[in-house]
Amino acid sequence: MVNQFSRFEHKSLEPSPVTRRKFVKVAGVAAAAATLPSVTSAGIKKEQTAETHVEKLYKSLSDSQKSAVCFDWEHTAHGGVLRKHVSNNWQITKPTVTSDFFTNDQQELIEAIYFGLYNPDWHDRMLKQLKDDAGGYGKKQSIAIFGTPGSEKFQFVMTGRHLTIRCDGNSAEHLAFGGPIFYGHAAQGFNEKPDHPGNVFWSQALKANALFEMLDGKQRKQALIAKAPKEREVHFRGSKGEFPGIPVADLATDQQAHVQKVLKSLLEPYRLSDQKEAVQCLDAQGGLNKCSISFYQSGDLGNDKVWDVWRLEGPSFVWHYRGSPHVHVWANVANDPSVKITTQG
């Protein structure tokens, strides 16, 4: 059998040049968070993290600013609790993060929060995604803060095109990443070519397709499904749910080891603490052996059998990758399948 996958082997992306002085300043702070303590009023050193920046930001907001971007913990909108909503393209509040609604100091804090949520190795790639999809960082993104930062329950949410990311200091009970997240990229316009040139997330799909190449004929028949579900359908099915595709538990040892590599590639863009929390949530529901992986014939760009749409799913773990006509990825991870979210897209 000809290896269709080999024609599209991933080549590492060269980092885009960073010319924005402010990004160098605050991203450096975020990347070195573990070694930059501050001193509280009690004289106790406090680690500088995205969470501590959220607390500083909240304290700096005026009453009028808070009325526009701050909400109660259980504030509802979009048919559910707003902090548990996710979409492929939305503004959670009206002010954009680089508008004059925020002071320069507040803008720098927001930028430090954002980049503090990502693996430093991915900062340049996230800048490329923001430039391609939204004209750059800050121009079309907005934020919201739920609860009271510094207390037991708070959450910072940033949204925009191909973006929903959260910072909560583990306030959101049971949920990894603070709730459902979204990421995507349209590197060369709305309709990408089959090999997705320049797409910063396409390497994840290639990693999954490498697993498909490892499957034998019977396994491929089980793993490959004609029609993909709607991409926003990432609600949990629970331990008694039926998951599409082939169970990871039924794979051979080397194939299971490769699924671990797929999972690692999915988590890699995020900071280490969020990666660990996601794995802990997954393990609480039986780990990858309780998950299935599926590939979809629908949306196969170029009909090249390099599957652009695929899904890894378990009782309270859903990672749906849609690569056609460009990359959309929805992720919902928890340690309890009873958690409810709302989606739109």
What are the pLDDT digits (tens) for 68-79?
Answer: 999 999 999 999
C-alpha closest to that of 159 among 232, 81, 79, 92:
92
Residue 9 CA, distance from chain mean position = 23
Strand partners, 312: 293, 319
Percent of the chain with pLDDT over 70: 86
* Residue 73, phi then psi, degrees to nearest 5: -55, -40
Q: pTM, whole model, 2 decimals?
A: 0.88
Segment 141-151, tens digit of pLDDT: 999 999 999 99
Segment 169-214, tens digit of pLDDT: 888 888 999 999 999 999 999 999 999 999 999 999 999 999 999 9
Segment 76-98, tens digit of pLDDT: 999 999 999 999 999 999 999 99
Taking the CA of residue 80 as centre, how many other CA atoms within 13 Å lie in the half-sphere pointing to its CB?
Answer: 11
